[in-house]
Structure 1
């Protein structure tokens, strides 16, 4: 059986976000102490890393962080489940390239909903936030309040209150001179960077339309065990619950939407309308999210973004992005431009996941911390806006979405009953 998380009564995310002002004041005092240490670490001193969220993505991020700098060490790990933590630690310890860079004794292995607090209190300089997305806003805020540099996996929220919190936290990170690097990895891809430079320099003229697709088969699912509570079952299958993942158009398709946002210089659209549903993946073990979404976003200058995503087995797989301009067209995934100007990126490639951490740690060492806060928040909100449109069947404006008071937080973070919400029904489900 897995090690049981701490089930003591903990503050809800609503309480956490509502108390942000008081926490910010207290955090500024903690941050003052941590900042002096971070500045000291900007030379060649040891940078201590903490991992919060020990799933597959967290394990990969930890390895990349440890490979990014010669003098870095993983010293603390935290996860809701002990079995996740132990599996992650074992996998990291097997990697010969990481020898001498892992020092996580039992007293720095933390399990439970409040494990992130204990990791932050371990004297770490950098934290990797790789839990299910629901927890990102509160974990990010706690990390910045504590004066830590952050790698922040995508998406950064599942609802508008979470996005607003992240935006405020990233402004605080700027004031504290702390790095916040996003897991929207295509922005760190060599070929994509050169391709988007061409687009921004006018190689396809003015953009008039964009089409992005993230159509795949189904993902993993863990069969429910008799001893699991509703909460444990949902956490272990977090992909399929909107409060945890945001739905797959937020959790996965955000990569495609982020590339469209990049092309538009991260200016948000005016409105969105969409359709979607749950046609194939209908069994109870798949929670209540949709298995397909199609959204049209409209920008103030008339540009339209056509965005599609699907998770249905047996269907054509397509993950592509096409941008159409007055002078040509760009096939983003092939780094190719056709039209008045013919261009194709033919340079060397590098690992975008590793690049994220290389640049994060270099920016800490150089005293010029990266802050990806604005674009990671807006791209996340772009995806949430799409979900709002598909769930309700209504035209939803960006301003409406940003002002939404819908908070997907469960009543409490406790292992016990937690009913699965009903599947959204367009025309019946209301915007909140």
Structure 2
């Protein structure tokens, strides 16, 4: 468990070793007291200025988590492509922190449009990147270019090319000793950290197999409004379009997949699976499947079964379970966060009702690292888990058996699209995917859809 393997993180001509889980902290690679280099913030400064890029519900929540996590932080800039979304976010945050100086965003620091993120980033020490996933590689690249510390939501990309771009930007961030925290918050959850510690101590032996689940009801849908262009409709309903958010495998089950990679200390080398649209078949549901099942095989020989669905009225579960040579580990679900031996005797049960929220704690550790001069860098493992999830829905969409190297290096896009460069985009720009004459969008077909 946790042995080193090779991975072509950047391209076929350049390879880097995947770092064992036992050699990194749960929060990320701690690089010690290296100098901050070109970082925008010097350790010891009084105030950390924050810019929020993407002001939807997740962005507003992330900003609240950041502002509540410590003193000496202030929101100074906001950017979004939707004016009313930025206004709502500002109203919520300014009301919540009305009796403090934590929200100080004058009108001239509110940027609306596809290219507003650049100006907002320039005003901050730390940027929160919380837009729909498609834009993440572009925004991360710009934040690193400007020498800013970063919190970015998961996933970090929607396709292999995006993952490679994030990894390349991550190299530049590391050269500048910038802090990068990614919202895979289970890594900052005390329950998961304690179970991981006991796993590393050998309490269940070698992991042989595991099951991870994200089964829930459907995502919300925003009904198309008069005056919306096709591009605006798709962005407002980004969960339902592959080019915007991938699939549920990527947008949600990445959390479970990340735990599997973390606990095993390696990423899978193959994936195969199945999925489809059984219930959510209307045109309003865009393109993604409503159920997926993926079988990942790891270098150690362990097999992780991953399932997710978005169907109403059925059994729901969100958890992870790992089967070892000496026992079983559950992170939640019916058994709770427990370790059992192979005779099902309970050996450990985690009790942590007073634990800090991992959504807050990831920001606590980010700000502590900035102020101390240490560096947290989640880029690598977040990119690996993003790619693991992408390989999963590539396998279910195509119905093919996929290997890690060929998936990571694929430039095949199921639906041709440009990069939506902000200087070229308006709401009248054609959306990357178009509905057919009957109003339905093209949907992947296993055995027909090509992903390599």
**Which residue of the partner structure matches residue 371 of structure 2?**
365
**Which residue of the partner structure matches residue 105 of structure 1?**
106
SS of residue paired to 2:136 = helix
**Alpha-carbon distance between aligned partners in 1 of 2:255 and 2:41, rounded to the nearest angstrom:** 33
5 Å-filtered alignment, 1:6-155, equals 38-40=40-42, 42-96=43-97, 99-122=100-123, 124-155=124-155
**Alpha-carbon distance between aligned partners in 2 of 1:177 and 1:284, rounded to the nearest angstrom:** 46
**Alpha-carbon distance between aligned partners in 1 of 2:404 and 2:69, rounded to the nearest angstrom:** 37
Q: Are 2:360 and 1:392 equivalent residues in the alignment?
A: no
**Alpha-carbon distance between aligned partners in 1 of 2:81 and 2:206, rounded to the nearest angstrom:** 48
Q: Are 2:423 and 1:423 equivalent residues in the alignment?
A: no
Q: Are 2:426 and 1:414 equivalent residues in the alignment?
A: yes
5 Å-filtered alignment, 1:202-221, equals 202-221=202-221
The 4+ residue runs of structure 1 with deviation greater than 4 A are: 34-37
Deviation at residue 44 of structure 1 after TM alignment: 3.7
Give the conservation status (yes or no) of the 8 Å contact 1:243–1:409: no
Deviation at residue 59 of structure 1 after TM alignment: 0.4
**Which residue of the partner structure matches residue 351 of structure 2?**
346
SS of residue paired to 1:274 = strand
Report Cα offsets for 1:370-416 as digits up to 9, x if no partner: 10011100111110000110000000111111111035673343323
CA separation of 1:187/1:284 partners in 2, compared to 1, >3 Å: closer, same or farther? Answer: same
5 Å-filtered alignment, 1:282-293, equals 282-293=281-292
**Alpha-carbon distance between aligned partners in 2 of 1:211 and 1:199, rounded to the nearest angstrom:** 16
SS of residue paired to 1:232 = helix
5 Å-filtered alignment, 1:160-199, equals 160-199=160-199
**Alpha-carbon distance between aligned partners in 2 of 1:39 and 1:109, rounded to the nearest angstrom:** 22
Give the conservation status (yes or no) of the 8 Å contact 1:216–1:310: yes
**Alpha-carbon distance between aligned partners in 2 of 1:39 and 1:254, rounded to the nearest angstrom:** 31
**Alpha-carbon distance between aligned partners in 2 of 1:37 and 1:403, rounded to the nearest angstrom:** 31
**Alpha-carbon distance between aligned partners in 2 of 1:287 and 1:414, rounded to the nearest angstrom:** 22
**Alpha-carbon distance between aligned partners in 2 of 1:35 and 1:236, rounded to the nearest angstrom:** 39
**Which residue of the partner structure matches residue 21 of structure 1?**
none
5 Å-filtered alignment, 1:292-371, equals 292-333=291-332, 334-339=336-341, 342-347=347-352, 348-371=354-377
Give the conservation status (yes or no) of the 8 Å contact 2:41–2:125: no
SS of residue paired to 1:94 = helix
CA separation of 1:36/1:270 partners in 2, compared to 1, >3 Å: closer, same or farther? Answer: closer
Deviation at residue 96 of structure 1 after TM alignment: 3.8
SS of residue paired to 1:193 = helix
| Structure 2: unaligned runs, 5 residues or longer | 1-9, 11-35, 436-440
**Which residue of the partner structure matches residue 4 of structure 2?**
none
RMSD of the alignment, in Å? 1.7
Report Cα offsets for 1:153-196 as digits up to 9, x if no partner: 00000000011111111121111010000100111001110011
CA separation of 1:409/1:415 partners in 2, compared to 1, >3 Å: closer, same or farther? Answer: farther
| Structure 1: unaligned runs, 5 residues or longer | 1-16, 18-33
Give the conservation status (yes or no) of the 8 Å contact 2:272–2:402: yes
Deviation at residue 346 of structure 1 after TM alignment: 2.2
SS of residue paired to 2:377 = coil
Q: Are 2:240 and 1:240 equivalent residues in the alignment?
A: yes
Deviation at residue 97 of structure 1 after TM alignment: 7.2
**Which residue of the partner structure matches residue 11 of structure 1?**
none
- TM-score when scaled to structure 2? 0.85
Number of residues paired by the alignment? Answer: 397
Name the structure where helix makes up a greater proportion of residues.
Answer: 1
